[in-house]
Every structure is written in C-alpha cells, then in structure tokens.
C-alpha cells in the first residue's frame, strides 16, 4: 500500500486501555513508510499490522464506512476533535496533513457518558438510548404509503434534512466543555419537529428524549457553540434553540407526559 519512495515516519502516541474501568496509559509507537496519500485510519492499520507481526496487541479502533457518513470513527488527534480539518470525520483526515518526524497524539472521546471499551473505542450507546426514548414516528402498517401523501414545504424539508444529517458520532459531546449532548438531541428532535410526519408525538418526544438525555448524565448547555465548530455534518446550534422552544411549548402548553424508556403505550 505505502509508497516506500515517498514514505515518511511519524511517532504515534496512542491511548492503551484493556477494558472499561481498567487503568490506561499513553504509549508511543513509531510508524514508518507512511504515504501522504494514506488516510489516518490506514496509518493506524499500518501500525496494527506491525504490532501483530511483533506479537503485540493491536490498537483497537472503531471504523466502518471510512467515507465520513457512518459516525463510527471518532478520535481526538493532537487535541482536535476528529482531527485538524474543519467539519470532518477522522476517517477523512489524510497523512498529507502531517510531516516526517511528527509526533501525533491520539486519544479516545473522554466523556463520562461514553465509557472507554478498549483503547480508542468508546461506548456511545447513551446516544442510542436518547433516540430510543422518542426518535420515532407512528405509521400505519400495510402497504407503503405514497411518498408525497403529506405535503411538505421545501424549505422545511431541507432544514429537516440538515438536522437529519447528524451521524451520531458524539463529536459535539466531546467538544463541549460541559460534556452536553444538546446538539445531538436538538438535531434528532428537529428532524421530526420540522415535518408533518413527526407531529403526533411532537410534545411527548421532546419531553421523553430530554428526560433520557438527563438520565444518561450529559452536562448542560452553556451556549459556547464548540459543538457546532466541530460537527462533521455542520449541524447548526439553531437546532438546540428549536429543541428549547419545543420543550417550553410542550412543558407549558402541552398535555403530554414523557414516556419512560422501555415502555410503549
């Protein structure tokens, strides 16, 4: 894979931890024959191939699509959430951003609600539990409904799409000084709040999802917008404002009560 002629070497300082609750530490490895065309994850693959050859445990790292749309990969590279590129995932980071002899610090998301499972992999199921609390709509069973049965304003559809672009990677929580999941939850509530299909569960959704979010132990929003600055999908903090609006309307003018996780009525 690597072009030996143009290859360079970097030192990777990576977080090693055997399991949740186990003590972890930073460990430095030298990676040679790195091509500037490689992605950052391919460089970690190269490191792992080398570690396996030496009989050492490879660095566990999560990745799936490697094209910036699945939200699996997520690392803090040299102190930058998802690496130095703006609005990008770490799989879209390439080694041409680094030079020969660079020391690269690679750390996992360090968020209370995302316990480290192993090395660089964290458990982000807290985000899934927020989704499970209210991130769904009711549809009739039977034949698939006609695609355009419910008319939708194009501007609203586009805004809902922008919110739905959230890939749930958790970068917003990681970037937040308070470890808050407001941008994630705001996006997930907005994608339904903007569309007629989301309207039957609208009030219950915001109350249930916020209750789940608080239960998972995420912090509060202090409107510093670090989340927006790192979001690989450029999800806007206007979605947090919409969630706040939805909450206030549901709390003061709605009849719905939150539905605790796991129960369906």
Residues that bind another protein (CB under 8 A): 13, 26, 76, 78-81, 105, 107, 109-113, 173-180, 182, 207, 210-211, 213-214, 217-230, 237-238, 240-248, 251-252, 257
Could you tell me the smallest distance in angstroms from the CB atom of residue 18 to another protein?
Answer: 16
Kindly tell me the sign of the dihedral angle through the C-alpha atoms of 58, 60, 61, 64: positive
Residue 62 or 107: which CB sits closer to another protein?
107
Core vs surface per residue 71-93: b (16+ CB within 10 A) or e: bbbbbbbeebbbbebebbbbbbb
3-class secondary-structure state, position 13: strand
Residue 35 or 187: which CB sits closer to another protein?
187
Could you tell me the smallest distance in angstroms from the CB atom of residue 246 to another protein?
Answer: 8
Among candidate residues 18, 14, 32, 33, the one with its CA nearest the CA of residue 78: 14
Q: Measure Cα distances from 137 to 131, 191, 202, 204, 205 in Å.
A: 11, 11, 9, 11, 9
Residue 35 or 208: which CB sits closer to another protein?
208
Residue 45 or 85: which CB sits closer to another protein?
85
DSSP 29: E
Could you tell me the smallest distance in angstroms from the CB atom of residue 82 to another protein?
Answer: 9
Instruction: Check if the beta carbon of residue 130 is closer than 8 Å to that of residue 207.
Output: no
Could you tell me the smallest distance in angstroms from the CB atom of residue 225 to another protein?
Answer: 4
Residue 138 or 252: which CB sits closer to another protein?
252
Could you tell me the smallest distance in angstroms from the CB atom of residue 102 to another protein?
Answer: 13
Could you tell me the smallest distance in angstroms from the CB atom of residue 216 to another protein?
Answer: 10
Q: Measure Cα distances from 119 to 21, 23, 133 in Å.
A: 12, 11, 29
Alpha-carbon distance of 204 to 195, in angstroms, equals 15
Residue 34 or 173: which CB sits closer to another protein?
173
């Amino acid at each position: 894979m690597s072009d030996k002629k143009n290859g360079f070497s970097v030192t990777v300082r990576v977080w090693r931890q055997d399991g949740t609750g186990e003590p972890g530490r930073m460990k430095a490895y030298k990676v040679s024959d790195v091509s500037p065309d490689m992605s950052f994850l391919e460089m970690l693959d190269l490191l792992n191939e080398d570690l396996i050859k030496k009989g050492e445990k490879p660095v566990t790292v999560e990745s799936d699509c490697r094209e910036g749309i699945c939200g699996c990969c997520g690392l803090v590279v040299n102190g930058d959430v998802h690496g130095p590129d703006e609005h990008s995932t770490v799989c879209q980071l390439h080694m041409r951003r680094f030079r020969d002899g660079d020391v690269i610090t690679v750390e996992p998301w360090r968020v209370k609600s995302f316990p480290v499972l192993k090395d660089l992999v964290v458990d982000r199921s807290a985000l899934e539990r927020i989704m499970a609390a209210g991130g769904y709509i009711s549809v009739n069973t039977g034949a698939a409904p006609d695609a355009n049965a419910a008319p939708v304003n194009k501007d609203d559809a586009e805004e809902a799409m922008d919110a739905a672009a959230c890939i749930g990677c958790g970068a917003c929580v990681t970037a937040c000084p308070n470890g808050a999941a407001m941008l994630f939850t705001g996006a997930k509530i907005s994608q339904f709040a903007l569309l007629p299909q989301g309207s039957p569960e609208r009030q219950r959704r915001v109350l249930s999802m916020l209750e789940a979010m608080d239960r998972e132990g995420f912090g509060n929003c202090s409107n510093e917008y670090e989340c927006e600055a790192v979001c690989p999908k450029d999800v806007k903090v206007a979605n947090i404002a919409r969630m706040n609006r939805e909450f206030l309307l549901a709390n003061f003018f709605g009849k719905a009560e939150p539905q605790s996780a796991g129960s369906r009525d």
